[in-house]
Chains A and B, each alone.
Chain A
Amino acid sequence: MSPQEQLTAALARIPYAAFLGVRAELKGDELTLVLPYSDHLVGNPLLPALHGGVVAALMELTAITQLAIASKSERFPKTIDVGFDYLRSGKPVDTYARARVVKIGRRIANVQAEAWQGQRHEPIAAMHGHFLVGDEERMASGE
């Protein structure tokens, strides 16, 4: 399987990714997750605007998947903490997200992500977070 096919297969195994309707595009080792607009993603029907939680979920999924690629891990890393900054209201159009693995340590990785719509340089939200990539006990037992 090509890396793109592996990625598509990995995402297809996550029920919540299908619930959102997320799909992945891989260029080299850089991942873009695409969230096509759908009515069930709306948080404010009057504007209308995407639910902030959905945009957050897209960025966290991107971060986790990019980290799995960067650490060449079969398992998805566990989230320790994530912070989301909202910069613009999410319009009822397709949304994209990319993540940058800032550092992978023995146990913890630091990742940043951004989500945008029309313009890459006008992000609608940003994320930074820490993820567990290794386990002290498991490493000690040589697993």
Chain B
Amino acid sequence: MTEETHYGEGGDVFERVKTMMQWTPQGRALGLEVTKLEGNHVWGRVPYKAELVGDPETGVIAGGVITTFLDQLCGMATVLAMKEPAMVATIDIRIDYMRAAEPGRDVFAEAHCYKIGRNVAFVRAVAFEDSADNPIAHATSTFMVKATRKIGANLREKKT
């Protein structure tokens, strides 16, 4: 089955997607990167850094880093699956850990948006160092598509 993709023509698509991954300040702080695109699949990387360690005894990267990475990569897969790129918002994400990440090594992941509807997208992802066959974690997530809100919406006082 060939999946329909909508993210346009031309060789600069990959560059644009790489820029999108760096659009979030937290993504930049972690050093998140997109490494490959194929259909509604997207691959990414989070570099190992001492400041991201969650367990000082083992040097294993914090679960929160993996969560943020997988959440953003799943969101990216959703954006790539939409006819016209727009804001998306996570409804929920569940992460199952098969094992701890190896200390000192970058973590990679593949996310796949396997179904997108008018309102909701379904995305799964797997994190690993070398191969998805030896996973660190699996993620299952749902996203609200076209979650666009006004610029500065969160700066305004709530109307009741």
Which residues in A have some Cβ–Cβ distance to B below 8 Å?
13-16, 18-20, 39-49, 51-54, 56-58, 60-61, 75-76, 78-86, 89, 91-92
Looking at A20, A40, A52, A54, the one whose CB has the most chain B CB atoms below 10 A away is A52
Pull 29 A–B residue pairs with CB atoms less than 8 Å apart, ordered by A: A15-B53, A15-B56, A16-B61, A20-B64, A40-B26, A43-B27, A43-B72, A44-B87, A48-B154, A51-B68, A52-B90, A52-B93, A53-B70, A57-B62, A57-B63, A57-B64, A61-B64, A79-B63, A81-B95, A81-B96, A81-B97, A82-B67, A82-B95, A83-B93, A83-B95, A84-B67, A84-B94, A85-B92, A92-B155
Which residues in B have some Cβ–Cβ distance to A below 8 Å?
23-29, 50-57, 61-65, 67-72, 87, 89-97, 100, 149, 151-155
Query: Interface of chain A, helix or strand or loop or mixed?
Result: mixed
B62 and A42 within 8 A (CB) = no
A53-B71 contact in complex given A16-B51, A48-B154, C-beta closer than 8 Å: yes
How far, in angstroms, from A86 to B90 measured CA to CA in the complex? Answer: 7
Q: A92: which B residues are within 8 A, CB to CB?
A: 154-155
B63 and A60 within 8 A (CB) = yes
B88 and chain A: residue at smallest CB distance = A44
A16 and B100 within 8 A (CB) = no
How far, in angstroms, from A49 to B25 measured CA to CA in the complex? Answer: 11
A83 and B94 within 8 A (CB) = yes
How far, in angstroms, from A86 to B72 measured CA to CA in the complex? Answer: 14
B94 and A82 within 8 A (CB) = yes
A47 and B65 within 8 A (CB) = no
